Amino acid sequence: MAPHATEPIGTNTNGSTEPVNAGEAPHEPGIKSDVAEGKMMEFPRPPKFEDKYEERDYLKGRLAAAFRIFGKHGFDEGVAGHITLRDPVEPDTFWVNPFGVAFSHINKSDLIQVNSSGKVIDGGEVRLLNTAAYMIHHAVHVARPDVQCAAHSHSIYGRTWCTLGRKIDALTQDSCAFYDDHVVYDSFNGVVLAEKEGKDIAKALGNKKAALLQNHGLLTVGKTIEEAVFWFLSLEKCCHSQLMAEAAAGSRGEKPIVIPHDQALYTRRTVGSSVAGWFSGKPQFDMIHRQTKGEYLQ
């Protein structure tokens, strides 16, 4: 979200510029910037590549790892679900999972490359393309040049929450990452097999990091694969948390306590940035690499 012109700008510990009160440290309200400087940390950053082909190879490995992570968390439902990577060599194409191959079995060599017309132009032995994957993800990648990765699946708590046609509330610190940064796509027209439906989803998503597809499931995007995957993991848990909180409060004739606007927005600046998403998602990739001993890189 762009800052208002009337708001002073400060530099957060993650390197992004966001509105802060003049003279105050961005993450410690009431503490002067010069006092807090000694507490600032330099966040790690995603690797950068001069060779686009080397970058492609690295990112395909990360995408394969992403599917292993989704499989580990049970985000597979038969053959449904897809994660896409914008190709750094040919940015109008993307890499995606072959239709019908289990997330938990996907290797780098299994991934397929799809062009702007929906034709598979490279990849593994199984070259079946999920039409819905093309319709949704092609539209999102075209509409959002900043998006490197988009993730969608039919996770249990996400799809359950999506039956309510509501955004999630800022009930916890974690859910603040999505405060005023997600949308509800309030239409369901069956499996997304039409170009218009994909474009409508992309239009509804706008510049946000996530969409709740009504009666369907979650969609998250990111400037990195790690970010998109982490937002999906976190949003799924936020849906679970709110379902439980509303059930518990409702049994007492109460409602969960919602975090006020200013605090929710302030917290989002800390936990909801692209760098925070990448850094939060990175441990999942480290874990899957150790657990699989790098098998997915084949």
> DSSP characters for 72-109?
HTT--BTTB-EEEEE-SSSTT-EEEPPTT--GGG--GG
Q: Is residue 69 part of a domain?
A: yes
Q: Helix, strand or coil for residue 176?
A: helix
pLDDT at 61: 98
Entry pTM: 0.86
Supply the CATH number for residue 208's domain.
3.40.225.10
pLDDT at 7: 33
Q: Is residue 23 part of a domain?
A: no
Q: Is residue 160 part of a domain?
A: yes
Q: Which range marks the domain in which residue 139 is found?
A: 52-292
Q: Is residue 106 part of a domain?
A: yes
pLDDT at 23: 40
Q: Is residue 17 part of a domain?
A: no
Q: Is residue 110 part of a domain?
A: yes
pLDDT at 27: 45
Q: Is residue 135 part of a domain?
A: yes
Q: Residue 227: which residues within 8 A CB-CB, separation 6 or more? A: 149, 274, 277, 278, 281
234: closest CA among 291, 152, 286, 177?
177
pLDDT at 187: 86
Spatial distance between the Cα atoms of 158 and 182, rounded to a whole number of angstroms: 13
Query: Do you know the residue count of the chain?
Result: 298
**Number of structural domains the chain divides into:** 1
Spatial distance between the Cα atoms of 200 and 205, rounded to a whole number of angstroms: 9
Q: Is residue 37 part of a domain?
A: no
* pLDDT per residue of the chain (298 residues) written in tens, 0 to 9: 333 333 333 334 334 444 444 444 344 444 454 544 545 567 788 999 999 999 999 999 999 999 999 999 999 989 999 999 999 999 999 999 999 999 999 999 999 999 999 999 999 999 999 999 999 999 999 999 999 999 999 999 999 999 999 999 999 999 999 999 999 999 887 666 678 899 999 999 999 999 999 999 999 999 999 999 999 999 999 999 999 999 999 999 999 999 999 999 999 999 999 999 999 999 999 999 999 999 999 9
Spatial distance between the Cα atoms of 261 and 263, rounded to a whole number of angstroms: 6
pLDDT at 12: 41
